[in-house]
Amino acid sequence: MAKTDKPIESFNSLLEVYDYFTDEQKCLNYLATQRWDGVIICPHCSNDKVYCFSDNKRFKCAKCREQFTAKVGTIFEDSKIPLRKWYIAIYLVTSHKKGISSHQLAKDIKVTQKTAWFMLQRIRFGLGANEDMTELEGTIELDESFVGGKNKNRHADKKVENSQGRSFKDKTPVMGMLQEQIVANVERPHKVIKGKTVNEKMVVQKSVVRCRVVPDTKSASLQPIIRENVKADSVLVSDEWWAYQGLNDKYDHRIVDHRAKEYVNANGDTTNAMEGFWTGLKRAYIGIYHHVSRKHLQFYVNEVTFRYNTRTMSEGDRITYTMTKTEGRLKYKQLIAKK
């Protein structure tokens, strides 16, 4: 096996991505494998009887007779930017702890800033459109945060007197649900004494977060999202915000009274992990973005959420995983449309 042909899962630097994806054909082949794994499906009619043209790029469906490449139906469709640049962009945005600005990306891969922005938005769109929708379970921390707004409000704590901070007119509310890490008792052989076993607490799943930009923080906006995303009988932990009242029919809802400066209640319940996520989100936002409109905030949130949820993956695993999140199209017209 040539040096550059080691499996992508083992990559741990940008250099390897750069060296591996030397030309468009190699990139297309990789995309086809990631999407179809040998059984090519027509993106127009989902038929699986497909012919390949001798150029090795185009396919033709035996049923609907449409032609297509591996890019059709993905975020790369209709893009004139070489896939190599796309893959580098994907690497940069998902592996940099705070993401990358469109200005920086434009310089790094030699495209215009407008193109870089559009690429980033498409990547973020894909991350959201292909989000793992498995119901959250166990203990779920609930909280909202307010993002963006004028500079003078940027660093303001969300707890504003008399309003509980839930009323910044120029900020956009985001609803967050964080599934706390799942720990289980695992029996394993004793390391020294033969035949003896020990019980050990082990993290079987790291914490996972899911966020939605919401129009406001009323219960009619928050509760349907919770009910859709969290498995029945899970434990919910939130602060005293009234909009969370009434969830006990399906869940075990526990409250941490932030008004009373309580951050861990008598039961040991807390929303500290969710708060920590918001801190990271805001730090990244301030570091890289000058302003994200309400309309585009969900894209940005998709990106930060994805980075959080893949934080313990190796670079190679993350690239491979991200490439499964490229289904779906986002047209420039849609992106810049007023509504």
**Residue 325 Cβ, how far from Zn ion at the closest point, in Å?**
24
d(C-alpha 102, C-alpha 227), whole Å: 36
Based on the shown chain and the rule CB under 5 A, indicate whether residue 26 belongs to the binding site for Zn ion: no
Amino acid at the residue 15: L
**Residue 57 Cβ, how far from Zn ion at the closest point, in Å?**
17
HSE-up of residue 326 (Cα within 13 Å, Cβ side): 27
Amino acid at the residue 325: K
Residue from 8, 61, 83, 142 that binds Zn ion (CB under 5 A)? 61
Contact 333, 136 (CB under 8 A): no
Residue from 29, 34, 47, 113 that binds Zn ion (CB under 5 A)? 47
Residues 6+ apart with CB under 8 A from 102: 113, 116, 117, 120
DSSP single-letter state for residue 181: P
**Residue 31 Cβ, how far from Zn ion at the closest point, in Å?**
18
% helix, strand, coil for the chain, step of 5: 40, 20, 40
Number of residues that bind Zn ion (CB under 5 A): 7
Contact 28, 57 (CB under 8 A): yes
**Residue 46 Cβ, how far from Zn ion at the closest point, in Å?**
7
Based on the shown chain and the rule CB under 5 A, indicate whether residue 44 belongs to the binding site for Zn ion: yes
**Residue 67 Cβ, how far from Zn ion at the closest point, in Å?**
10
Contact 239, 256 (CB under 8 A): yes
Here's the x/- map for Zn ion, 118-157, by CB under 5 A: it reads as ----------------------------------------
DSSP labels, 127-145: HHHT---PPB-SEEEEEEE
Based on the shown chain and the rule CB under 5 A, indicate whether residue 52 belongs to the binding site for Zn ion: no
User: Phi and psi for 26 in degrees, rounded to 5?
Assistant: -65, -40
Residue from 64, 184, 202, 232 that binds Zn ion (CB under 5 A)? 64
Residue from 7, 19, 25, 45 that binds Zn ion (CB under 5 A)? 45
Q: Which two tokens stand for residue 31?
A: 């995309």
Tell me the window of 18-26, 45-53, 119-127, 160-168 that interacts with Zn ion (CB under 5 A).
45-53
Q: Is 125 helix (H, G, I), strand (E, B) or coil?
A: helix
Based on the shown chain and the rule CB under 5 A, indicate whether residue 40 belongs to the binding site for Zn ion: no
**Residue 134 Cβ, how far from Zn ion at the closest point, in Å?**
30
Based on the shown chain and the rule CB under 5 A, indicate whether residue 203 belongs to the binding site for Zn ion: no
Based on the shown chain and the rule CB under 5 A, indicate whether residue 42 belongs to the binding site for Zn ion: yes
**Residue 130 Cβ, how far from Zn ion at the closest point, in Å?**
22
Please report, as ranges, the residues that interact with Zn ion according to CB under 5 A. 42, 44-45, 47, 61, 63-64
